[in-house]
Amino acid sequence: MLSQLCTKFRSTSYNLATVSKNITMPSTPRRTFFLPGDNNGPVGLYNDRDYWKGKGFVLDENAKKALEEYIAIQSKTYDSLEKKYGVSADLWRNADYRLIADQRPPIKVAVTGVAGAIGYALLWRIASGSLFGPTVPVSLHLLELPAILPKVKGVEMELRDSAFPVLKDIVITDNAEKAFEGVDYALLVGAQPRTAGMERADLLLKNAEIFATQGKALNRAAKGKDTRVLVVGNPANTNALIAQRNAPNIPPENFSAITRLDHNRGLAQLKLKTGATLNDIEKFVIWGNHSATQFPDVSYTLINGKPAREVLNDDNWVEKTFIPCVQKRGAEVIAARGSSSAASAASALIDGTRDWHYGTQNKWTSAAVYSNGEYGITKGLYFSYPVIYQGKKATIVKDLQISEYQREKLKATEKELLQERDGVAKHLPN
């Protein structure tokens, strides 16, 4: 009965042009949809024809107003349907999302190391629609080591059994080129863990081999300038560098290493300390390497519009508690839980990828991106900066004042990245 009602409902109400004349569409829409941008609010308008081209349009101010009006009308319609048929407004909305998701081409997402702890937490977030929202279908391309593939079969079974409306397809393979074939996003999670007695230099080299191979495979098989690569496997910044240097067909700006977990950890501590909501906290930044040398920096942070240092009024807490807490949080979680912070890492990867795809609406976040020498950091390193995402591009926030104290911290974490880079020099062509 629900589907019949949905069909009836849909045939009457989806034409934004009836709501406002202020929107110019590139082509005449047969139907127009509002696409929810998950936590980020509305992201655009699509019509049938553009679905197939995978295009959205940017909204101008008039279109934004019209969209708000449209959403208000749509919500009332859901409410009146709830009253009339006794079916909840949320159910109407969800049924609607499903119909939209069924009509769109999927975004292809490769994930490596899928049988690991982060992979297991991550795949369910992607497949349930937490990454791109409930109206955007996804295809998962899963890469694992040959010996681990039987385990991945089990993961595949569970994913299919979850019957997620946005999950269109699953490819599982131990062949990197097959995994990266035509992908829009590659989330490089799989890495060699440090085993007992293994030296740090050996770990670096072992991972360098993995990421050089995967970089070459991305170069051959992915979509070139339309592929975005996010590295999680440690040492994440240097692994991003290695993958990028082995993938000349993909612009260096399309690679990134995730420092979003560190960023989220910092926000969580500030929230706990001040009682502010996350929405009240802006302009926090993680600089440098995803390691204990990173610099969690509140110099520009505003809490409810006031400088964080003033609100906190406790420099000792910032230096002696806050900064070390964020820097060493990973080890603290391992000590408490007996295993690593897999779920929060997966969550951070979802946040970081979604921001890249949908933009941050002029808000700062942190990501290790390609350095062009900003703030005196060696060109070519993947260094965590304050960034704003817009139009699927990361822009480093420029012209911030840097004190002597900050400069020292930036140099310390850069030094570690330079040592890592030199340790894997033989895997860095070009």
Residues labelled catalytic: 290
Q: Cis peptide before 235, with omega less than 30 degrees from 0?
A: yes
State the Cα–Cα distance between residues 417 and 411, nearest whole angstrom: 10
Residue 343 near ligand NAX by CB under 6 A: no
Alpha helices, DSSP H only, in 254-363?
260-274, 308-312, 315-316, 323-327, 329-337, 342-358
Chain mean position to CA 413? 23
| Token couple for 144 | 């694992």
> Binding ligand NAX by CB under 6 A: which of 167, 345, 369, 396?
345
Residue 234 near ligand NAX by CB under 6 A: yes
> Binding ligand NAX by CB under 6 A: which of 141, 290, 421, 427?
290
Residue appearing with tokens 């509305």: 42
Closest to ligand NAX by CB, 71 or 117: 117
Residue 359 near ligand NAX by CB under 6 A: no
> Binding ligand NAX by CB under 6 A: which of 342, 377, 417, 424?
342
Q: What is the largest CA-CA distance in the chain?
A: 69
> Binding ligand NAX by CB under 6 A: which of 232, 286, 298, 312?
232
Q: Nearest Cα to 173, choosing from 105, 221, 131, 243?
A: 221
Q: What is the DSSP string of 200-247?
A: HHHHHHHHHHHHHHHHHHHHHHS-GGG-EEEE-SSSHHHHHHHHHHT-
Tell me the closest approach of the beta carbon of residue 331 to ligand NAX, in angstroms: 10
Closest to ligand NAX by CB, 115 or 394: 115
> Binding ligand NAX by CB under 6 A: which of 150, 154, 193, 224?
193
State the Cα–Cα distance between residues 312 and 309, nearest whole angstrom: 5
State the Cα–Cα distance between residues 55 and 294, nearest whole angstrom: 38
Show contacts with ligand NAX in window 96-115 (CB under 6 A): 112-113, 115
Tell me the closest approach of the beta carbon of residue 280 to ligand NAX, in angstroms: 25
Cβ-based burial of 76 (10 A; exposed 0-12, middle 13-18, buried ≥19):
exposed
> Binding ligand NAX by CB under 6 A: which of 5, 25, 89, 148?
148
Q: Nearest Cα to 377, choosing from 245, 288, 299, 259?
A: 288
Show contacts with ligand NAX in window 116-135 (CB under 6 A): 116-119
Closest to ligand NAX by CB, 81 or 342: 342
Residue 190 near ligand NAX by CB under 6 A: yes
Residue 296 near ligand NAX by CB under 6 A: no
Residue 154 near ligand NAX by CB under 6 A: no
Virtual torsion, Cα 160, 165, 168, 174, nearest 10 deg: -40
Tell me the closest approach of the beta carbon of residue 9 to ligand NAX, in angstroms: 43
Tell me the closest approach of the beta carbon of residue 183 to ligand NAX, in angstroms: 14
Residue 296 to residues 61, 155, 233, 261, Cα–Cα distance (Å):
36, 36, 21, 12
Closest to ligand NAX by CB, 172 or 345: 345
Residue 368 near ligand NAX by CB under 6 A: no
Which residues contact residue 135 at a Cβ distance below 8 angstroms, ignoring those fewer than 6 apart? Answer: 33, 35, 36, 97, 100, 101, 104, 166
State the Cα–Cα distance between residues 278 and 299, nearest whole angstrom: 17
Residues contacting ligand NAX: total by CB under 6 A = 30
Closest to ligand NAX by CB, 74 or 344: 344
Show contacts with ligand NAX in window 242-271 (CB under 6 A): 258, 261
Closest to ligand NAX by CB, 29 or 116: 116
Tell me the closest approach of the beta carbon of residue 140 to ligand NAX, in angstroms: 14
Binding site for ligand NAX (CB under 6 A): 112-113, 115-119, 143-145, 148, 189-193, 210, 232-234, 236, 258, 261, 290, 330, 340-342, 345, 348
